[in-house]
Every structure is written in structure tokens, then in C-alpha cells.
Amino acid sequence: MNFEKVVFGFFVVLAATLNFGFFLGPIDNPSVHNAGELFAAVVVNLIALVMKFGDRTQIGAVHLATSLVASLQLVAAAGLWSYYNHLVDGAPLSPEQISSVVSLSGGALLANIISVTLLVVETVSFRRQ
């Protein structure tokens, strides 16, 4: 068993599950979307992004692209949450505001699902030597 592949797979799947946990629930209800979970999703996605550098294969390039998309959208979602929460008026997020944040997270979730699918395809097509 290749420990590097295990750690890589762990972070790819953890990034997707954290993002899914934040995304799940009514899109316009701020009480079901946790800021801490969004922060964890951002951090784990950034770690997964760094781990994808250096792979010179075509599938590695697509892994990197999906991770860049997910990280960009999650950082934008966190920035928007912070903007709405701290700079606008300090009041709880309105349904329209949380909808924007959750929508960005949904785009990142799609990129994470693609990344997990690539990981599974790569694993299934791996041939022992």
C-alpha cells in the first residue's frame, strides 16, 4: 500500500465530504450552514490543492484543475460570508445572502465530486506490476 496515495485520497474525499456537509440543507436557511464547516472545507481543499502539484500526468492536471475550481469557489464563499457578516451590518445573514454563499459552495461541491470520480477511475484502472 502506498502511504502517499492513502493521504492523497483521504484529503480528496475529506474535502468533498466537508463541502457536502456545509452545502446540505435548505439553501436560504442560515441556521443549517455552519461557518466552521465552511472554514474547514476551505482549509482541506487548499491542502488537497497543494498535494496535487507535481503530478505530471493528464489525470493529474485535471485533478489540479478541479481542485483549483473548488478552492476558488470556497474562498469566494468564505469571503462573501465574511463580507456579509462583518462589513454590511453585523446582523445574521439574510436568506438572499446565505443563498449566494451556499450556491458558491455548490459549485465547489460539483468540482469535488468530479475529483473524487477521477480518483476512483484512476484507482480502478491501476494495474499492478
DSSP-derived secondary structure for the chain: --HHHHHHHHHHHHHHHHHHHHH-S-TT-GGGS-HHHHHHHHHHHHHHHHHHTT--SHHHHHHHHHHHHHHHHHHHHHHHHHIIIIII-SSPPPHHHHHHHHHHHHHHHHHHHHHHHHHHHHHHT----
Averaged confidence pLDDT in the chain = 90
| Under 8 Å between Cβ of 10 and 32 | no
Domain boundaries, the chain: 3-124
Higher-confidence residue of 43 and 126: namely: 43
pLDDT for 58: 87
Asked if 12 and 119 touch (Cβ cutoff 8 Å), the reply is yes
What's the rounded Cα separation, in Å, for the pair 111 and 66? 5
Average pLDDT for 41-66:
90
- The answer, yes or no, to whether residue 55 has pLDDT greater than 70, is yes
pLDDT value at residue 56: 81
**pLDDT-based confidence at 38, cuts 50/70/90?**
very high
pLDDT tens digits, one per residue of 1-35: 788 889 999 999 999 999 999 999 999 998 899 99
Query: Where does the pLDDT of residue 60 fall: very low under 50, low under 70, confident under 90, or very high at 90 and above?
Result: confident
pLDDT at 128: 61
Neighbours of 95 (CB within 10 A): 11
Kindly report which listed range (19-33, 51-65, 84-98) carries the lowest average pLDDT score: 84-98
Share of the chain above pLDDT 70, in %: 95
111 vs 34: CA distance, rounded Å: 20
What cell does 83 get? 463580507
